[in-house]
């Protein structure tokens, strides 16, 4: 029988220079330690601008808070200051004399004042349908003043004029002459019931009329 020639390496025999079966060659060297980190991404330009804007806004907010605190302190100090009382004189201004606050004295020859009065009828009065006003006449000039109830009249709230009725009121104004500095008081009476508004009196028949509101 013919025997087939054996192939090299059969029966576990390795020919010189022949690589063993199943050997894939030298393996790659193994690496030890943590895996490499991926490269970091750089921040975009938009993100940088946004952070800058937030910083500017924060600065303005801080300035506003500081200003509010400062103004609040000023207002608190102002509120603690005592308020000026009525009639008090500010510093640096001379105080006014008490005489300056009084009404000026009349400079004319006659001064007249009037106020409401109760009607006191006499036996000559025809009933109670009258209205009386108490009048004070003062001579404030340098000459005598002639006083007569007929020189006075009463004007009511509607503007109607009422002449003086004689001898109907017990307190009727006297007919007299006043020396400078003197005064007299009496009632002048009109016919009817009305609301007196003011009186008008003259010094004599042709003197200037002096008007006085009825209080």
Which domains, and CATH codes, for the chain? 110-213 (2.60.40.1240)
pLDDT, tens digit (0-9, with 9 covering 90-100), for 27-81: 545 555 556 666 555 555 555 666 666 666 777 777 777 777 666 655 555 555 5
Say if CB 79 and CB 166 are below 8 A apart.
no
Task: Take residue 45 and report the two structure tokens written for it.
Answer: 């330009």
Residues 140, 145: Cα–Cα separation, whole Å = 9
pLDDT, tens digit (0-9, with 9 covering 90-100), for 98-118: 444 444 445 578 999 999 999
DSSP class per residue in 63-114:
HHHHHHHHHHHHHHHHHHSPPPPTTPPPTTSPPPPHHHHSPPPP-SSEEEEE
Strand partners of residue 114 = 135, 214
Please indicate, yes or no, whether the overall pTM of this predicted structure exceeds 0.85.
Answer: no
Residues 204, 178: Cα–Cα separation, whole Å = 12
Q: What is the mean pLDDT of residues 78-103?
A: 48
Annotate 84-106 with b (16+ C-beta within 10 A) or e (fewer): eeeeeeeeeeeeeeeeeeeeeee
Say if CB 173 and CB 188 are below 8 A apart.
yes
Which residues fall within 8 angstroms of residue 117, CB to CB, at 6 or more apart? 132, 133, 134, 171, 187
- pLDDT of 67: 73
Closest CA to 178 of 128, 103, 109, 116: 109
């Amino acid at each position: 029988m013919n025997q087939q020639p054996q192939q090299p390496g059969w029966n576990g025999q390795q020919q010189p220079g022949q690589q063993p079966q199943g050997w894939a060659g030298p393996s790659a060297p193994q690496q030890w330690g943590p895996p490499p980190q991926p490269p970091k991404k750089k921040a975009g330009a938009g993100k940088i601008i946004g952070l800058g804007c937030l910083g500017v806004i924060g600065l303005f907010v801080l300035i506003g808070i500081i200003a509010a605190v400062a103004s609040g302190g000023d207002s608190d100090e102002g509120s603690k200051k005592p308020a000026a009382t009525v009639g008090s004189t500010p510093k640096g201004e001379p105080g006014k004399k008490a005489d300056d606050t009084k009404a000026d004295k009349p400079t004319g020859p006659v001064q007249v004042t009037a106020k409401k009065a109760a009607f006191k009828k006499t036996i000559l009065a025809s009933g109670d349908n009258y209205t009386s006003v108490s009048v004070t006449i003062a001579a404030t000039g340098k000459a005598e003043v002639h006083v007569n109830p007929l020189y006075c009249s009463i004007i009511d709230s509607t503007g109607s004029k009422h002449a003086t009725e004689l001898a109907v009121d017990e307190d009727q104004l006297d007919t007299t002459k006043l020396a400078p500095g003197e005064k007299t008081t009496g009632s002048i009476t009109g016919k009817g019931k009305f609301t007196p508004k003011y009186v008008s009196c003259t010094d004599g028949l042709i003197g200037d009329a002096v008007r006085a509101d009825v209080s």
